[in-house]
A and B are shown apart, each in its own frame.
Chain A
């Protein structure tokens, strides 16, 4: 199945702005994140911490709705889903 990933701001520079992932049916959000981590490689530090977990301040959305961190392993995606990933900013 195809999953579209949209990354914003710094993440866009790391992952690309509009990414299409081809995942096996039944793939979870955790699987999407693993794929993105591999893709980001060394530049992934801004997105993932040293254990490979999505940094706590990063906002993750599926089809325009926020994803709860507790659901990463159980949330099964469907063909055509759109995942958005962005870092809140803090400057003024």
Chain B
């Protein structure tokens, strides 16, 4: 049941997906991997939308060079862990939800515990090796994964439902080269909010997800396109041993 206070707070979105949808959000647990350029807007918008429990993981501390895009971290947070900095802002933005922020490097040994009993994994990482790890954990546990990545003025996003749709390794069999990527804050803002929007739709059962579709945003030309993607029969992550 929603409280009176919640009915008031979420009044405008109750018009969209009703009390049932809002209660689903309240009951949901979302794991956000990364509290950087993507993780900040994702966490903020899911918090104010009323996602009941947000678990946020990041291993880094706030640096001055983060401030052009990582909007939950402010001047005063420089030198402190991003997890704590983000947690403080999220609590203030919405005191009615639970926020758990952890300082940790996501690796093979801890990914299972970090995802835990989450209903959804949101990929806000800055590297493909960790993304592949999240993808494998999503496939193992059956928990959907919402992918997003950015560089410069461009970005991509897709939603993966294990066993049903193309997985991250079907779509990106080879990782793009690692680099210190150029970026302006609006790009992770746009892609992060597309990911948060996917999360809200998935949880409330609204609309059509970006499943088996890769969304490409090109900020310089202001164009957004989606391409059909499909499972690769030889995908080592999701199709091993599967006879089609």
Q: Which residues of A contact B (CB under 8 A)?
A: 8-10, 12-13, 17, 56-57, 59, 61, 64-66, 84, 86-92
On whether the beta carbons of A57 and B176 are closer than 8 Å, the reply is yes
Chain B residues 120-166 with CB under 8 Å of chain A are 124-128, 148-156
Contact string against A for B residues 106-128, beta-carbon threshold 8 Å, 1 for contact and 0 otherwise = 00000000000000000011111
What 5 pairs between A and B have smallest CB-CB spacing? A89-B151, A92-B126, A91-B181, A9-B154, A57-B174
6 contacts between A and B (CB under 8 A): A12-B218, A56-B174, A59-B171, A89-B181, A91-B149, A91-B151
List the A side residues contacting B221 at CB < 8 Å: 12, 17
List the B side residues contacting A91 at CB < 8 Å: 37, 126, 149-151, 181, 183, 188
Looking at the complex, which one of B152, B172, B230 makes contact with A9 (CB distance below 8 Å)? B152
B129 → chain A, closest Cβ, in Å?
10
B41 → chain A, closest Cβ, in Å?
11
Q: B175 near A: Cβ within 8 Å?
A: yes
On whether the beta carbons of B151 and A9 are closer than 8 Å, the reply is yes
List the A side residues contacting B156 at CB < 8 Å: 88-89
- Residues of B within 8 Å of A, CB-based: how many? 39
Complex: A61 Cα to B230 Cα, angstroms: 12
List the B side residues contacting A86 at CB < 8 Å: 216
Q: Which residues of B contact A (CB under 8 A)?
A: 34, 36-39, 124-128, 148-156, 171-172, 174-179, 181, 183, 188, 216, 218, 220-221, 225, 227-230
List the A side residues contacting B178 at CB < 8 Å: 90
Closest to B149 in A: A89
On whether the beta carbons of A92 and B149 are closer than 8 Å, the reply is yes
On whether the beta carbons of A90 and B126 are closer than 8 Å, the reply is yes
List the A side residues contacting B148 at CB < 8 Å: 92
Complex: A57 Cα to B221 Cα, angstroms: 23
List the A side residues contacting B181 at CB < 8 Å: 89-91
A92-B150 contact, Cβ under 8 Å, with A17-B221, A56-B174, A64-B227: yes
List the A side residues contacting B36 at CB < 8 Å: 92
On whether the beta carbons of B176 and A92 are closer than 8 Å, the reply is no
Complex: A82 Cα to B127 Cα, angstroms: 31
A64-B228 contact, Cβ under 8 Å, with A12-B220, A17-B221, A57-B176: yes
Closest to B229 in A: A66
A90-B176 contact, Cβ under 8 Å, with A8-B216, A17-B221: yes
Looking at the complex, which one of A57, A59, A65 makes contact with B177 (CB distance below 8 Å)? A57
Complex: A61 Cα to B152 Cα, angstroms: 22
A92-B128 contact, Cβ under 8 Å, with A12-B218, A57-B177, A61-B227: no
Complex: A59 Cα to B229 Cα, angstroms: 11
List the A side residues contacting B228 at CB < 8 Å: 64-65
